[in-house]
Structure 1
Amino acid sequence: MKIALFSDIHANLQAFEEMLADLDSRPIDAVYCLGDLVGYNVWPNEIISEMQRRKVPCIAGNHDVKVNGLITTATSLKEPGKKYAYHLIDEPGRKYLSTLPAHIKLEYKIDGQRLNIMLAHGSTRSIDEYVLIDTNEAYVLELMEEANADVLCVGHSHKPYHRVIIDGKGNKKHIINTGSVGKPKDGNPKGCYVLLTIEPSVSQGSEDIVAVEFIRFDYNIEKAAKAIEDSPLPIEFADMLRQAK
């Protein structure tokens, strides 16, 4: 079973299209999005439309929920500032974002044993919480125990990693951050998504029960950055794309 996971597109259509092209070239069984379709760039409606067309299961990111209750006027569409990115979203797009779930849980049986995969944007406790590669191990295990998860997949930080930790029973737990499709922050400006392979021949508790591959892809960064510079969005958003920070 091969599962593609991605998050944090942030309305970057250039990166999103390149990610989809790469994804479509691979033998993938399932695709899930861990949120933050919008914010920081000018193509939120195109992103949402394609997500709906492809029927990709998606959870809400912290930027996605910011749209709830937002009142857009002709003036707000012209005023400079961060909120401009949210005012661009049309009414159908807002309705779609308002219905996204907080989490998705996948349950598999591998050689007669269960493998539980939890998908969250920030953490299982909060959409805004960061689960980083150096987050306290005991705390991460606590989160995973609460969620009854063997594999925890998150986004939000825009910094990809795969971490393996051992619980009190000697079981190996996997924590995976998908990085960011449209706004990397790890110093590498290439977009990123994850391929998760579940190995049916390996018993639960083995580190190799899941194989994790980070896919980095090129896209037209200058076109995406120029779209920001030609809009009322803050100019520093364009520099963030170029510098991946």
Structure 2
Amino acid sequence: MRVAVISDIHGNGPALDAVLADIAARAVDAVYCLGDVAFQGPHAAYCVDVLRERHIPTVRGNTDRYLAGGGRPPGMPSGRADALLRPWREALGPERLAWLGVLPERLEVTWGGAAALLVHGSPRSDEEPLLPRLPGTGPGGAPGTGPRTGSPPGADSPGDGGPLAGVDAQLVLFGHHHLQLAWRQGGTGPWMVGPGSVGMPFDGDPRAAYALITVEEDRGASRFGAPRMAVTLVRVPYDVEAVIAAHRQAGLMDYNPLFPAQLRQARMHPAPQG
């Protein structure tokens, strides 16, 4: 079985179109989305409509929750949050906002015999990023440039009371931090996969990101009879400047002035532009 997982579209229609076209060329069996569908970019309504029309199962991200009225960014006063979110709420309208508001916080599915857990941030919070603990770092590790793969020393395992406490899955998929990551928890535990961001990557590569999961059920060849799994982290180019132009034309610079630099540099905190 072959599954594509997308996340963090953030209202970027051309990036979403490019990723879905690439996925279509790979003959996958299913597509799933890990949330943060609409906020930030100029194509909020379009991105929601595409997911709904294609019946793509989607978990709710933290910004989806904010838009639907379920809280606000940490530390931001309610009046300021309402003013910030207003253009996207108006663009979406009540019916789309209602759809965002009832999205599930998690999905538990089975792909080719593999139990998978899909969340936006971590299993316990849509605002908590999941990162590997690499040698020389503290809990959670530190983000770098480009995708990470391999088997770094695991932290926060299912039995240690951390964000994975109580998780009984062979595959955990998560978004939120806009980084492409794939590692085996503790070297022998579940696969941890962050597909990266479709619409706002933060790893220095401005191309749209997603992940392909291939599961081969072969109970005679894997530990405890688990199916074999392979993870492919994919990047797809799209017209960044067209999105920036649409952002300006929609009058969103007053609400999100960093958006052009974030897209061009693929950084959460971009360098100043002249």
Q: What is the TM-score of this pair, normalised by structure 1?
A: 0.86
- Structure 1 outlier segments of 4+, above 6 Å: none
**Matches for 1:32-111 after TM superposition, within 5 Å:** 32-69=32-69, 81=84, 83-108=86-111, 110=113
Shift of 1:243: 0.5
Q: Please say if residues 228 and 234 of structure 1, whose CA atoms lie closer than 8 Å, have aligned partners that are also in contact.
A: no
Counterpart for residue 171 of structure 2:
151
Q: Secondary structure at the match of 2:92?
A: coil
Counterpart for residue 161 of structure 1:
181
> 2: CA distance between counterparts of 1:166 and 1:60?
28
For the structure 1 residues 46 and 120, does the alpha-carbon distance in structure 2 shift closer, same or farther, using more than 3 Å as the test?
same
**Matches for 1:17-36 after TM superposition, within 5 Å:** 17-36=17-36
> 1: CA distance between counterparts of 2:226 and 2:155?
19
Letter in 1 for 2:104: P
Counterpart for residue 175 of structure 1:
192
Counterpart for residue 73 of structure 1:
none
Return the structure number with greater relative CO, CA threshold 8 A, min gap 6: 1
Q: Which residue, out of 214, 218, 222, partners 2:233?
A: 214
Q: Which residue, out of 167, 173, 193, partners 2:210?
A: 193
Task: Give the stretch that moved more between structures: 99-108 or 50-59.
Answer: 99-108
Q: Please say if residues 225 and 242 of structure 1, whose CA atoms lie closer than 8 Å, have aligned partners that are also in contact.
A: no
Q: What is the TM-score of this pair, normalised by structure 2?
A: 0.77
Identity of paired residues, percent?
Answer: 29
Give RMSD over aligned pairs. Answer: 2.4
Counterpart for residue 119 of structure 1:
118
Q: Secondary structure at the match of 1:161?
A: strand
Q: Please say if residues 214 and 230 of structure 2, whose CA atoms lie closer than 8 Å, have aligned partners that are also in contact.
A: yes
Q: Please say if residues 184 and 192 of structure 1, whose CA atoms lie closer than 8 Å, have aligned partners that are also in contact.
A: yes
Task: Give the stretch that moved more between structures: 16-25 or 179-188.
Answer: 16-25
> 2: CA distance between counterparts of 1:8 and 1:25?
21
Task: Give the stretch that moved more between structures: 139-148 or 234-243.
Answer: 139-148
Q: Please say if residues 172 and 206 of structure 1, whose CA atoms lie closer than 8 Å, have aligned partners that are also in contact.
A: no
Letter in 1 for 2:239: N
> 2: CA distance between counterparts of 1:222 and 1:128?
29
Q: Which digits, 9 at most, give the CA deviation of each residue in 1:69-126, with x for residues without a partner?
A: 38xxxxx9xx98465334321122111101100000113564xxxx321000000000
Where does structure 2 lack aligned partners over 5 or more consecutive residues?
71-78, 134-139, 142-153, 268-274
Letter in 2 for 1:35: G
Q: Please say if residues 158 and 168 of structure 2, whose CA atoms lie closer than 8 Å, have aligned partners that are also in contact.
A: no
Q: Secondary structure at the match of 1:58?
A: coil
Letter in 2 for 1:139: D
> 2: CA distance between counterparts of 1:159 and 1:206?
31
Q: Secondary structure at the match of 1:89?
A: helix
Q: Please say if residues 67 and 88 of structure 2, whose CA atoms lie closer than 8 Å, have aligned partners that are also in contact.
A: no
